């Protein structure tokens, strides 16, 4: 079956880079997503990457995809306290319908 | 307009009440979704509507009843809920139910069942 795994916690200092990692099992996934959820709020789509890409950069965000190892990472440069949130990795399931989410990584940024 | 709106933001109801959650989008999306999210957990899919027809029901109890009156609106009718149904209910939409669509989420309705 489809499964998405993430580490649960990451703590960094303001100004440092954060790297959040994710592994997935469905090799037929064509799109992989990163969502951010602040406390009490809904999910905000941060970025996504198509499976034929290795890297995608969007301002402070860099997504790396290793399709052979089924490994996805999100790098946040110059991490700010406002980046503190839960970050969910997600893939679209085989049926092509709803997203399969990882358990989320709680990013804590200290000043 | 790339927004999915949900009302109400918060809802407190008793186990004998009947209430409804509403979701709206004006992006012309033809697929809409209901997810349930418990604290510190990922969202779990409940229902998928495609072109106003229910295409997926993830074995959700009948005390949750979805409705899609038109392509912009999605409702979730609640009746005889249990305290364990307390959660954040998220609505989402995509252009269509295919592999290559961004899924936009609303802010959610935080439901508390007493």
Tokens matching residue A105:
């990584």
Given a cut of 70, whether residue B8 has pLDDT beyond it is yes
Q: List pLDDT tens digits, range B22-54.
A: 999 999 999 999 999 998 899 999 999 999 999
| Nearest residue to B31 via CA among B85, B89, B103, B90 | B103
Answer whether B32's CB lies under 8 Å from B46's CB: no
In angstroms, the CA A91 to CA A72 distance is 10
Distance (Å) of CA A74 to CA A102, B29, B40, B67, B76: 13, 28, 20, 36, 34
Distance (Å) of CA A12 to CA A8, A17, A26, B28, B51: 14, 8, 30, 40, 44
Does A44 sit within 8 Å of B41, measured CB to CB? no
**B24 φ, ψ to 5°?**
-145, 140
In angstroms, the CA B114 to CA B98 distance is 38
Q: What is residue A94's predicted lDDT score, i.e. its pLDDT?
A: 57
Question: In chain B, which among 85-114 make CB contacts under 8 A with chain A?
Answer: 88, 90, 92, 97-100, 102-108, 110
Answer whether B75's CB lies under 8 Å from B67's CB: yes
Q: What is residue A42's predicted lDDT score, i.e. its pLDDT?
A: 87
Q: What is residue A35's predicted lDDT score, i.e. its pLDDT?
A: 95
Whether chain A has a CB inside 8 Å of the CB on B10: the answer is: no
Q: How confident is the model at residue A106 (pLDDT cuts 50, 70, 90)?
A: very high
Answer whether B65's CB lies under 8 Å from B76's CB: yes
In angstroms, the CA A106 to CA A102 distance is 12
Residues in chain B within 8 Å Cβ distance of A104: 40-42
Q: What is residue A98's predicted lDDT score, i.e. its pLDDT?
A: 72
The predicted model gives A16-44 an average pLDDT of 89
């Amino acid at each position: 079956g489809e499964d998405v795994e993430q580490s649960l916690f990451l703590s960094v200092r303001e100004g440092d880079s954060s790297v959040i990692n994710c592994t997935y099992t469905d090799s037929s996934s064509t799109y992989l997503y990163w969502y951010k959820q602040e406390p009490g709020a809904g999910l905000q789509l941060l970025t996504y990457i198509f499976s034929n890409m290795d890297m995608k950069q969007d301002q402070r965000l860099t997504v790396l995809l290793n399709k052979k190892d089924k490994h996805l990472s999100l790098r946040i440069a110059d991490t700010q306290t406002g980046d503190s949130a839960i970050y969910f990795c997600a893939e679209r399931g085989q049926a092509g319908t709803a997203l399969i989410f990882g358990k989320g990584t709680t990013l804590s940024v200290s000043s | 307009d790339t927004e999915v709106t949900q009302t109400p933001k918060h809802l407190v109801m008793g186990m004998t009440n009947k209430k409804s959650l509403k979701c709206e989008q004006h992006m012309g999306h033809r697929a809409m979704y209901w997810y349930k999210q418990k604290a510190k957990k990922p969202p779990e899919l409940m229902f998928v509507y495609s072109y106003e027809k229910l295409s997926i029901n993830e074995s959700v109890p009948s005390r949750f009843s979805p409705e899609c009156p038109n392509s912009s609106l999605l409702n979730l009718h609640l009746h005889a809920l249990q305290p364990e149904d307390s959660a954040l209910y998220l609505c989402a939409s995509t252009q269509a139910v295919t592999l290559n669509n961004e899924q936009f989420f609303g802010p959610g309705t935080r439901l508390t069942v007493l």
